[in-house]
Amino acid sequence: MPELDREAPSPLAAQIVGFYVRAIEDGRLRMGTRLPPIRDVAKACDVTRGTVQDAYRQLADQGLVEGTVGRGTVVLGGVKPALALAAAGPLSAYAEAALRRSQEMPGAPPLPAGRELVANFAELAPDGDRFPVDEWREAMDAVLQRRGAELLGYGHATNGLPELRVMLAERAHEIDPGLTADDILVTAGAQQALDLVLRTFCTPGDTVVVTLPSYHQMHGLLRAHGLQVVQVPFGAAGLDLDQLERALQRRQVRLVYLMPTFHNPTGRSLDRAQRQALMDVVARTAVPIVEDEYQCSLRTRGKAQATLRSLDPRGLTVTVSTVSKELFPGLRIGWVAGSADLLRPMAAVKRFMDLETSPLLQAALVEFVARGHLDRYSVALRAELKNRHDALQQACRQHLPPGCSITDPDGGFVAWLELPQPGHGERLAELASERGVRVVPGRVFDLHGQPSRGVRLSLTRANVQQVQAGIAVLADCARAIVAAPASARPFL
């Protein structure tokens, strides 16, 4: 039965719909399965039968279920021709959910045919024109010449090369002073690290707490693992700790997923007091935290904040990090920082996934850092990011109409532009694309795709001039949306 959150902004019927959509997507409800009778759901959830009827009707409208006299409401199975193989039965529930999510993955509206690009705020991938290709080739050649035969074979180091783990611990000293090489597990990027965390802590049917809005790729991973999700609002004042505390009282909650620094999609960061207050709430439970610090090295101002891991007296927080955003994504090296008790089972799971992360790439990264290339590249990248953020803030102050706001991050690649009403974010993305500006609408970052007030702006592919031109277009579109009569404003 669904668990409803009466404090959440989503209508109760929408929460029931979301519960059964996820159950169908992750394979827990297969083709031919009957949903519980409406009266049973109404009683269990303490809602009216009309609320459940509305939810079942929405599921039928999506082609997921069918109501039949004498049989009740039955799951139809595959809802798209491309998913016929999944509906036929040979795929695992994990594969079915991953296939559905990948095919339904929302994003920024495309530009109309023939429309010239003014600014691309949609892509969150580092700019390839800036990659230090020659310096990386130099580091790769050096380690191949010295240790080629060793590095091209099996390294027998599931946790990662010792020299890389030592280096990573040293570089993290400011934000996690107690971190040692023994507390690090090297992975094939941050995405594998997140997958390992879920495989280690969670079982299908468990519940994970995430922020609203939150990283949309994590939504797909959670669904593939057959996990339920509780969304806790994350706004200008930080995480809603009252809602977090209520969420943690649920018996099925097994994990909390957070981005405390340069949060995707808002760019916000928790300060020291907010981090400590959050930890005070979670520390009263035995629920682990995974903090995704994929952009923490891209700070352009202010003092770096301590990791949640370093503030957790229970030792139940793990930190996921990567060099993909700071350097280039083709270098699939990430890591998990955590206590030995947590990393030991995680390393065992990883061993059966891929034996180990490429020893050659790990050694080349150590060489690249030792030659000073990473520090020089990072200094230049942060300087350029600061210029783009400054241009963004100046353009928004100059052009945005009243009622609109922009976050002002202390670094990272993203910022969050917000309009007055739900649905405005989706309308802004549509209008902007017609004029050559691409942004990602806020509903992408809501697990249930609810109408949003905001859009995410990524600064990875927009230089200072493009930022200025793009914000001028977005401001014009926002002005038209805000000024439109209420009857003309779509509530998407």
pLDDT, one tens digit per residue, over 197-248 is 999 999 988 999 999 999 999 998 998 898 989 999 999 999 999 999 999 9
Q: What is residue 105's predicted lDDT score, i.e. its pLDDT?
A: 65
Pick the CATH number of 105-124+376-488 from 3.10.580.10, 3.20.20.80, 3.90.1150.10, 3.40.50.300: 3.90.1150.10
Q: What is residue 155's predicted lDDT score, i.e. its pLDDT?
A: 78
Handedness of CA 264, 268, 269, 270 (dihedral sign): negative
Q: Which residues pair with 65 in a beta bridge?
A: 75
pTM for the full predicted model: 0.83
CA pair distance 101, 90, nearest whole angstrom: 18
CA pair distance 309, 178, nearest whole angstrom: 10
Is residue 35 within 8 Å of residue 56, measured between CB atoms?
Answer: yes
CATH code of 154-371, in short, is 3.40.640.10
Q: Based on C-alpha coordinates, what's the Rg of the chain?
A: 23
Q: What is residue 252's predicted lDDT score, i.e. its pLDDT?
A: 87
One-character DSSP codes across 135-203 = HHHHHHHHHHHHHHHHHTS----TT--HHHHHHHHHHTTTT-TT--GGGEEEESHHHHHHHHHHHHH--
Does this chain's domain 12-103 share its CATH topology with 154-371? Answer: no
Phi, psi of 328 (to 5 degrees): -160, 145
Q: What is residue 77's predicted lDDT score, i.e. its pLDDT?
A: 61
Strand ranges for 259-333 from DSSP E: 289-292, 317-322
Could you name the CATH architecture of 12-103? Orthogonal Bundle (1.10)
Query: Which are the contacts of 47, defined by CB distance < 8 A and separation ≥ 6?
Result: 4, 12, 16, 41
Q: What is residue 489's predicted lDDT score, i.e. its pLDDT?
A: 46
> Low-confidence residues of the chain, pLDDT below 50?
78-88, 489-492
Q: What is residue 21's predicted lDDT score, i.e. its pLDDT?
A: 85
The full set of domain ranges for the chain reads 12-103, 105-124+376-488, 154-371
Is residue 426 within 8 Å of residue 441, measured between CB atoms?
Answer: yes
Q: What is residue 83's predicted lDDT score, i.e. its pLDDT?
A: 42
Q: What is residue 87's predicted lDDT score, i.e. its pLDDT?
A: 45
Amino acid at 474: L
Q: What is residue 84's predicted lDDT score, i.e. its pLDDT?
A: 40
112-132 burial string, b = 16+ CB within 10 Å, else e? eeeeeebbbbbbbebeeeebb
